[in-house]
Amino acid sequence: MELQGKGAAPGVAVGRVYVYNKKISIPAERFISAGEEQSHLNRYLSVKEQALEELEKIKVSMSKVDPSKAEIFGAQKEIIEDIIINEEIPAKIKNERWAGDWAIYTVYETVLSVLRKTADSLIAERSSDFEDVRALLLRFWNNETTTGLSDLAEPVIIAAEDLLPSDIGAIGDKKNILAILLEKGGITSHTAIIAKSCGIPAVVCVSQLLEHVKNSQLAAVNADEGKIILDPDNAIVGDYNKKKEIFLNEKKETAAFLKNDGCTACGVKIDIGLNISSADASELGASEYTDSVGVFRTEFIYMGRSTLPTEEEQFLIYKKTLESYGDRPVVLRTLDIGGDKKLESTELPREDNPFLGNRALRFCFSRPDIFKTQIRATLRASVFGNLWLMLPMVGSLDDIRKAKEFITLTKKELKKENKPFKEIKIGIMIEIPAIAYIADLAAKEVDFASIGSNDLIQYLCAADRMNSAVEEYYQSFHPSMLRLIKETIAAFDSAGKPISICGEMGSDPLAIPVLLGLGMRKLSMGSASVAAVKRVLAGLTIVQCEELAAGALQLSTADEIKEFLNNKCSTGHTPRH
C-alpha cells in the first residue's frame, strides 16, 4: 500500500513503524474555593521552573547536534517567561479563581486561536512552539515525567498524529529515529526544522495515516517525494536502501557549503539574505552564514497577544537583530497585517475579499497610531546597525510618497525629543503588478526593492496561493512572471538601486539560474535553504544562467519552461541538485 504526504525533511528510510499515540492532557473547566488561590499560584510557579529546567536540558542535548537549532528551545523558554502570559495566568487564578491547569490551558489557547487562523503558513506553524510549552507545563502539573519517546530501544519509523519539538528533543539517541510520519504538522514548523538538523526524513500531512499503519509494520519512506510504501517487497527495500546511501552522501556534500560565500563558479558574489519572522535565537543563529536579513516579517511580533506591542518592546527586538548583523543590512518590513492575518488586540472589519482589502501599508495608513509606534521604534533602533525599512503592499507612487512623508514627520518628533536615530534606506516590496509595471518610476522614489514572489505570483495569476483548489493556476514559471521580473530588475539596475527576491522562488534550485540570468544578484531565504542555495550557485556561471533565461523567455507556458529547465539540468547544462 502506498500513502502520500508532503516532504518536510529530506531523506529515505526503511524500517519498522512505531505508532506513537500521544496523550494530551486537556483539563476540565474548573474553579477553586476561596483561600486556594495562593496554593495554585505557587504550583504554577513551580511547574514553570520545572519546564524551564527541562527545556534547558533539551537545549544542551540538542546543541551537541546543531547549536543553532538548539536555540529553538531557548525561544520556548522565552515563551514561558512572556510578560503578558505571566500576567494573565496569575490574574485568572487570583482574581477569577480559575484552577491553575485550566488557567494555563485557556490563556495559551487564546494565543493559539489567533496563530492558527492566519493563512500565513510560517506564522501559523510557529503555534507549535506555544502548544509545546503548554503541553510541557500541563505535563508537570499532572506529574507526568516522560513524553513516551525518550526510551526508544531500537531504530524505528515514528508514525503519529503530530509531534512537538520537545518530543524529538527529549529523545536521547536520535539515531533510533529512522523517519517521522505525521498526519498533521507543517513543512516549515520547528519540528520539521529539528528533523532536518538531525538528518531525520519527515513526511507530514499524510491523510488517515494512523488508520493504515500498524506497530512493527515494515515501511519504506521517500521524504523527497512525500511517499510511504507499507509492506514493501525485497526489491523495493533494496532500491530504497540505495537511495538512502545517495541521499546521505548528498547531504554531507551540501552541508560543506554552509560556511562558504554565496558565489558562482565564475566568481560573481551573490548576496545571501535571511528571511525571519521573529528575532529569536533560533533564527538569528544563521547570521553567521548570511550577508543580510532579507526581510524581517514584523507581523509576528503583533500576533498572538491581547495587547499591541509597545514602542519599547519593538525597539528592543529590532535592536537585538541589528546588533546580531553589525554593519550588514537588516531589511525590516513594516507591519503586514490584514487580509488573512488577524490581530487579537485590534478588531479588523470583515472583508469579502481580504487579500485585496485593507492590509499591510493600507492598514497602517488607516491606523496611524499603530504605524507611528513602529516607525518610532524602527528609527530609534537604527543607531545600532544598518537598518533598511521596507514598505509592503505598495501599489502606487502615492503610497510611497505618503509613507515617506509619515516617516519624515516622525523623525521631526524624535528630534524634538532629543532621541537619536540614523538616516535609513527606504524601499518597497514589489508584490502588486501595478507597481512592478512602473518599476522605473518607483526606482526614482526609493532606495531599494525586494520582489515578494509569493504574492506577486498570486496577484499576477489571480490564484490564491493558500487555496489548493486553484493550485494549478498558481504558476511560479508563468511566462508573464519571468518577463515582469526581468523588467523590474532592469529598472532598478538602471537607477543604480539594489533589488532582491525574498519569496519561495529565491531558494528554488530550478528558479535560481533563471533569476541570475535575468540579473538578480540578491537572494533571500529561510535558514534551512542557505547551504543548498550556496551549493547551487557554486555550480553555475553567469553565462550559463543568461543562456537559460533567454531560452525560458522564448517559451509560451509554465510547463514548457519547467520542462526546458529540467532538461537542461539533466543534460549537464547546469548542475542538477
Give the integer Cα–Cα distance in Å for 5 and 511: 24
Q: Which three cell numbers stand for residue 356?
A: 485585496
Give strand pairing partners of 567. none
Write the CB contacts of 142 (distance below 8 Å, at least 6 apart in sequence).
25, 101
Q: Which three cell numbers stand for residue 529?
A: 535553504
User: Which 8-state DSSP code applies to residue 541?
Assistant: -
| 577 annotated active-site | no
Give the integer Cα–Cα distance in Å for 9 and 19: 19
| 190 annotated active-site | yes
CB 500 within 8 A of CB 531: no
Q: What is the DSSP string of 398-452?
A: HHHHHHHHHHHHHHHHHHHTT------EEEEEE-SHHHHTTHHHHTTT-SEEEE-
Residue appearing with cell numbers 509619515: 406
Residue appearing with cell numbers 522564448: 554
Q: Which three cell numbers stand for residue 100?
A: 491553575
CB 185 within 8 A of CB 191: yes
Write the CB contacts of 64 (distance below 8 Å, at least 6 apart in sequence).
none
CB 175 within 8 A of CB 155: yes
Q: Which three cell numbers stand for residue 219?
A: 515501511
**Which candidate, 200, 257, 193, 61, places its Cα nearest to that of 527?**
193
Out of 198, 364, 461, 502, pick the active-site residue: 502
Written as one letter, the residue type at 19 is V
Give the integer Cα–Cα distance in Å for 212 and 112: 30
Written as one letter, the residue type at 118 is T
Could you count the other beta carbons within 10 Å of the beta carbon of residue 496? 7
Written as one letter, the residue type at 391 is L
Give the integer Cα–Cα distance in Å for 502 and 507: 9
CB 515 within 8 A of CB 523: yes
Out of 40, 190, 364, 461, pick the active-site residue: 190
Q: Which three cell numbers stand for residue 342?
A: 488577524
Q: Starting from the edge strand earliest in sequence, which strands make up the sheet with 6-9, in order?
A: 2-4, 227-230, 218-222, 12-20, 156-160, 177-182, 202-204, 6-9
Residue appearing with cell numbers 508514525: 159
CB 290 within 8 A of CB 507: no
Residue appearing with cell numbers 535553504: 529
Residue 187, SS3 per DSSP: coil
Q: Which three cell numbers stand for residue 240?
A: 530504497
CB 231 within 8 A of CB 8: no
Give the integer Cα–Cα distance in Å for 236 and 224: 16
Give the integer Cα–Cα distance in Å for 344 and 544: 50
Which amino acids are annotated catalytic? 190, 502
